[in-house]
Copies of this chain bind each other. A is one copy, B any other.
Amino acid sequence: MVKVNDNYQKLPGSYLFSTVGKKEREYRAAHPDKKVIKLSIGDVTQPIAPAIIDAMHKSVDEMGVRETFRGYAPDLGYEFLRSAIVKGDYASRGMDIAIDEIFVSDGAKSDSANIQELFALDNVIAVGDPVYPVYVDSNVMAGRTGTYDPATGQWSNVIYMPCLEENGFAPMLPDKVPDIIYLCFPNNPTGATITRDQLQKWVDYANEKKAVIIYDAAYEAYISEADVPHSIYECDGAKKCAIELRSFSKNAGFTGVRLGFTVIPKALTIDGVSLNAMWARRHGTKYNGAPYIVQRAGEAVYSEAGRAQLKEQVAYYMNNAKVIKEGLAQAGYSVSGGVNAPYIWLKTTGGMNSWEFFDYLLNEASVVGTPGSGFGPSGEGYFRLTAFGTYEDTVEAIERMKKLI
Contact A48 B71 (CB under 8 A): no
| Contact digits for A289-329, partner B, Cβ 8 Å, 1 yes 0 no | 11111100000000000000000000000000000000000
Quick check: which of A164-172, A280-288, A350-358, A396-404 contacts chain B, the rest being far away? Answer: A280-288
Contact B5 A117 (CB under 8 A): yes
How far, in whole Å, are A50 and B64 apart by their CA atoms in the complex? 7
Name the one of B1, B2, B46, B69 contacting A47, with C-beta atoms under 8 angstroms. B69
Name A84-100 residues within 8 Å CB distance of B. none
Contact A9 B282 (CB under 8 A): no
A256 adjacent to chain B (CB < 8 Å): yes
The 6 closest A-B pairs by CB, nearest first: A113-B286, A3-B120, A43-B71, A53-B64, A71-B255, A2-B179
Give the residues in chain B near A46, CB-CB below 8 Å: 66, 69
Name A54-71 residues within 8 Å CB distance of B. 56-57, 60-61, 63-66, 69-71
How far, in whole Å, are A120 and B143 apart by their CA atoms in the complex? 11
How far, in whole Å, are A64 and B18 apart by their CA atoms in the complex? 27
Name A116-151 residues within 8 Å CB distance of B. 117-123, 133-134, 137-138, 141
Contact B71 A15 (CB under 8 A): no
Query: Known contacts A4-B270, A5-B120, A6-B120; is A286 also within 8 Å of B110 by CB?
Result: yes
A273 adjacent to chain B (CB < 8 Å): yes
A37 adjacent to chain B (CB < 8 Å): no
Query: Known contacts A57-B57, A137-B285, A292-B256; is A273 also within 8 Å of B4 by CB?
Result: yes
Quick check: which of A193-201, A206-214, A339-347, A362-370 contacts chain B, the rest being far away? Answer: A206-214
Give the residues in chain B near A289, CB-CB below 8 Å: 256, 258
What number of copies of this chain does the assembly contain? Answer: 2
A107 adjacent to chain B (CB < 8 Å): yes
Contact A66 B53 (CB under 8 A): no
Contact B286 A114 (CB under 8 A): yes
Contact A69 B43 (CB under 8 A): no
Query: Known contacts A57-B60, A285-B134, A293-B293; is A4 also within 8 Å of B69 by CB?
Result: no
How far, in whole Å, are A339 and B3 apart by their CA atoms in the complex? 37
A395 adjacent to chain B (CB < 8 Å): no
Contact A141 B282 (CB under 8 A): yes
Contact A291 B15 (CB under 8 A): no
Query: Can you list 15 contacts pairing A with B, beta carbon distance less than 8 Å?
Result: A2-B212, A2-B270, A3-B120, A11-B281, A15-B281, A43-B72, A45-B66, A56-B63, A57-B60, A69-B256, A106-B258, A113-B286, A117-B141, A138-B286, A257-B292
Name the one of B57, B63, B64 contacting A256, with C-beta atoms under 8 angstroms. B63
